[in-house]
Amino acid sequence: MGTGGGAGTGGATGTGGTTGTGGVGGTSGRAGAAGQAGRDASGGAPDAAVDADASDTSSDAPFDSPADVSCGDTASDPQNCGFCGHDCQNGDCVAGECQPWLVILGTSPTDVLATDEDVWASDAGAGIIFRNSRAGGPSIFATGFPDASFMAIDATHLYWTVFRDPGQIIRKPLAGGSTEIFQANLVEPLGIAVDTTHVYFTSTTQGVFRIPIGGGAPEQLVLPAFTATPSGLALDDSKLIWSNAGNDTLGRYDIGLGMVTTFATGQVDPAGVAAHAGLIFWANEALPVGDAGSAGTITSKPAVGVATPVVEVSGRNRPYGVSVDDTTIYWTEPGRGRVLAVAR
């Protein structure tokens, strides 16, 4: 059982979003201003290329013959990649596998959050929250938040954690207006999720907490003994799933039952977590030794039942945040200053 008593604030000693220098509108330590390189929902070419290779793929679908008579060359046709009807969207098709494309170029983007209307990104290095409208292009939603980390969204607000000591949870109306401190004096809060009644967050030394959506003191749901440097957090129905960077597992907490179980084992430096359509997705940073770093993955597993995790995207450079919609997987690579996407 992972229930804990009382109210308290989260604590942490783990690492959060990668911090860099630079800002918007000029040059920076990495890539300078954020810019959109993907197209919106109606089309458009990318502004910058991505160093994609055959390992940069998320498609596990069967590969038809290179000259499938029903739809042409499935080895290179981006609208029929690997099999008929598989659209790579903005990515190329190489050897029957869709390749990633660049969505946002920033300083140290930590998290990405895809909705029907927008693709959001938090940039810890620039202290910026980007709103990349599918209809109208990129804009700056909020500034002045160095160490901005994971994000969550409800019908009215965007929420994000500020990973520092003391840390905060910040929110701002989607319609615009002023940012507000939803909860202050937290010790390095990191993962975050929201539903109609509560905001949930991880603390890398004190476990998992929730706060009433109307405000109030944090309530501890999962004790530190049942976590190991909890990082990313997602909510699926009545279950919270978080990554344990300290022991390469994912944990699960049933809110109704108050029970903690292990969701996945044998991962490699798991970070961001996302839930979509009955599946849980997470980023494995696979922290490299030295400067090399191309072993990171985006992995998935059904939210319920017994199943082996499936690698959706491989060969990535320390992926950190992740988000998924019906057609696309998005992730951040803070060390390279970019948000990427690939067709599912």
Give the DSSP letter string of 125-176: TTTEEEEEETTTEEEEEEE--TTEEEEEE-SSEEEEEE-SSSEEEEEEETT-
Instruction: Report the chain (344 residues): mean pLDDT per 10 consecutive residues.
Output: 37 35 32 32 36 42 53 96 97 98 95 97 97 92 97 98 93 97 95 98 96 97 97 97 97 97 97 98 82 82 95 96 98 96 98
Q: Are strands 93-94 and 310-316 parallel, antiparallel or unpaired?
A: unpaired
Task: Specify the DSSP class assigned to residue 336.
Answer: G
Give CA–CA dist 191/170, Å, rounded.
Answer: 13
The strand pairing partners of 170, in sequence order, are: 160, 181
What does 223-290 look like in DSSP terms, one character per residue? -GGG-SSEEEEEEETTEEEEEETTTTEEEEEETTTTEEEEEE-S-SSEEEEEEETTEEEEEE--PPST
> Is the sign of the CA dihedral 136, 138, 144, 146 positive or negative?
positive
Which residue segments constitute the domains of the chain, with CATH numbers given?
Answer: 100-343 (2.120.10.30)
- Enter the pTM of the model: 0.81
The pLDDT, as a whole number, for residue 293 is 61
Distance CA 278, CA 54 (A): 28
